[in-house]
Structure 1
Amino acid sequence: MSLYNFPDLLQVAKERKFKAVGSFNLHCLEMLPAYFKAAKATNSPLMIQISTGTAEYLGYRLLVDSIRSLSESQQIPTCLHLDHCSDIESIKTAIDAGFSSVMYDGSHLDMADNIANTRKVIDIARPRNISVEAELGAIGGSEDGKAVAMEDICFTTTEDAKRFVDETGVDMLAVSVGTVHGLYTGKAKIQHQRLADISEVTKTPLVLHGGTGVSDEDMRRAVAGGIDKVNVGTEMNVQWVGHCKETFEKGKVNDSVRKFLIPANDAVAAVLIEKIALFK
């Protein structure tokens, strides 16, 4: 089974009565079986996203080979997405390795440069049937070493969103409507009217970053109001690390390592199952 790009995966999700696709950050290979376990349990297609740091740590090709193998053996439609990458050479590396979707993050640039660089990535990716995500506006918080101070948050406007989509033809657009990267101790406040207005003028799949910090009610409203892709990362990491700390502390040095990791993976699968249920 080949890896799916985002538009094709979204079509599978819609056929299975999902309103949106969850895109889940993978932090290490040990977590990987939990993602497929959750997808199987929910009859959901699966989108796994990788930060550049994780891709460099594990190896682009190892990630592609591992995820493609599990997708085939489990018969789960899967998309492998490079998340938040501002380096076009790294995007080329991911594409050459076999990633099926990439994100060029030019949100720190002015509009003209963001559009120009996004178009460069689309010119590379589209002939190979690889989907491209871009970001417009500044989402607060931190992710994989990149940080935006709360006072520097810049919400996406309808005018900018329409211009950006019209001039790039991007497959999906991440928008700043009130979510925060890395938030897991509080709740974000989504600007639903702004989201609805952007959805109306762009007619393009929209992406919600910072999905961990969104209440269940807001999440359901967001996916009903124009969000087609929801990024979730921090919550899985927090659960995995928390359970590993507990099991490693109690374990003996001659115990099998798998005994330390199984409770952590079970907790991660439970998070995914809970989140996926919100996208119906």
Structure 2
Amino acid sequence: MLVNMNDILLPAKEGKYGVGFFNAVNVEMARAIIETAEELQAPVMVGTAEVLLPATELNLVADYLIPMAKKASVPVCVHYDHGLTFERCMEALKLGFTSVMYDCSTVSYEENVERVAEMVKICHAMGVTVEAELGHVGDNAGAGKLENPEDYYTDPDTALDYITRTGADSLAVAVGNAHGDYAFPPKLDFDRIDVISKKVNIPLVLHGGSGLADNDFRQAVQLGVSKVNIFTDIDKAGKAGVEAGIAAGERTMMGLIAYEIDAMKKVVAEKIRLFGSEGKAC
């Protein structure tokens, strides 16, 4: 069933379990995610991000994801992640996405507040939920890599003011996490997660989940992280599945699909169980 983010994350926060958000840039990814969630009776969030649109445009993602979510036997939120522009977020709304992240983390604090508050007002009038980011989660490599990530960590006192003024439904925090592959094991600031969670009292979001240690996930969820973003792990699994199919003698795309989906389903199942959301759709 198609739901919004609050329908999934508020019970998760109350129950102290996490819910995976998985990007799905093709139908095979979408099948792997939703089919696994159904098999494990777990709520799930699925969608795409603005940075991924060169792979598959937003309208095409909506064409397969929203009907699949509506037909699913478990709660599925279709989320537009890291929306960088007002126009693209509005496009996601018009296409039927039930949740958007309006990422204004690179502008000034006051501008971030103003933009997100406006987005919340529009989205809430349509029954759509909004994720925001305070501080800034950089990348592990490339142009988005931060020289001193600690300078961009989320400040707990500022977070309370931010949520009070914007009304955002969930908050992505910068606490030692980063997007992409980790060159070295990250060190999450668990004390910071704990303090922020107690101050804002809304679901927290951990971006850059691929590559974190299992115990990091478990501790973060217990301290208030209700949504964990995963893409790199499932993306690499799909590639490995295709390679396994080729090694097994498959020579057509049709023959490789089963290998691709099977490999990604294993990753999705592993994360659902790790976050503690298995059986929570019952």
**Aligned pairs for 1:18-97 within 5 A:** 19-55=17-53, 57-97=55-95
The match for 2:138 is 140
> Which of 67, 80, 105 matches 1:107?
105
CA-to-partner distance for each residue in 1:50-75, whole Å, 9 max, x for gaps? 01244465343443342232234332
In structure 2, stretches of 5+ residues that fail to align are: 277-282
2: CA distance, partners of 1:127 / 1:56:
30
Q: 2 CA distance for matches of 1:243 and 1:165?
A: 42
On the 8 A contact 1:20/1:223 being kept in 2, the answer is yes
Deviation of residue 123 (structure 1)? 1.9
Question: What TM-score, normalized to structure 2?
Answer: 0.89
Q: CA deviation at 1:101?
A: 0.3
Q: Structure 1 residue 242: deviation in Å?
A: 2.6
Q: 2:209 aligns with which of 208, 211, 223?
A: 211
Partner SS, residue 80 of structure 1: strand
Which residue in 1 is equivalent to 2:256? 260
Change (3 A) 1:146 1:19: farther
Cα distance per residue 1:86-143 (max 9 Å; x no partner): 1000000000010000001111111001111111211221100100011011213169
Alpha-carbon spacing, 1:85–1:68, altered in 2? closer, same or farther (3 Å): closer
Paired amino acid for 1:268: M
Aligned pair count? Answer: 275
- 1:278 is the counterpart of 2:277: no
SS of the counterpart of 1:211? coil
- Structure 1 residue 249 displacement after superposition: 6.5
TM-score (norm 1): 0.90
* CA distance 1:48–1:121, shift in 2 (3 Å): same
Q: How does 1:157-172 map to 2 (within 5 A)?
A: 157-172=155-170
In the aligned structure 1, how far is the partner of 2:165 from the partner of 2:145? 26
Could you say which residue in structure 1 is the equivalent of 2:196? 198
Give the drift of 1:214. Answer: 1.4
Letter of the 1:159 counterpart: D
Q: 1:164 to 1:12 in 2, by over 3 A?
A: closer
Q: Deviations over 1:4-53 (max 9, x none)?
A: 110012256579x6612111111322222111221022110120030124
Determine helix, strand or coil for the equivalent of 1:133: strand
Q: Do 2:30 and 2:46's aligned partners in 1 also have CA atoms closer than 8 Å?
A: no
Partner of 1:243: 241
**1:208–1:231 contact (8 Å) kept in structure 2:** yes
Identity over aligned pairs, percent: 32
Please give the per-residue CA displacement for 1:195-253, whole angstroms capped at 9, x wherever unaligned.
Answer: 0000111111110011112111110010000101111111011111233244347656x
Question: What do the CA deviations read for 1:130-175 (whole angstroms, capped 9, x no partner)?
Answer: 00011011213169x8713243551111111111111101000000
Asked if 1:269 is matched to 2:265, the reply is yes
**Which residue is equivalent to 1:6?**
5
> Contact between 1:140 and 1:150, CA under 8 Å: does it hold in 2?
no
- Aligned alpha-carbon RMSD (Å): 2.3
Cα distance in 2 for residues equivalent to 1:13 and 1:156: 22
Give the corresponding residue for 2:122.
124
Looking at both structures, which has the greater relative contact order when contacts are Cα pairs under 8 Å and sequence separation is at least 6? 2
Name the SS of the counterpart of 1:140 in structure 2: coil
Distance in 2 between residues matched to 1:33 and 1:12, nearest whole Å: 25
Secondary structure, aligned partner of 1:229: strand
Match of 1:190, SS state, is coil
Out of 126, 151, 162, the residue aligned to residue 148 of structure 2 is: 151
8 Å Cα contact 2:66/2:97 also seen in 1: no
Which AA in structure 2 matches 1:80?
A: V
Unaligned stretches of 5+ residues in structure 1: none
Match of 2:210, SS? helix
Cα drift, residue 77 of structure 1 = 1.4
Q: Match for 1:8: what amino acid?
A: D
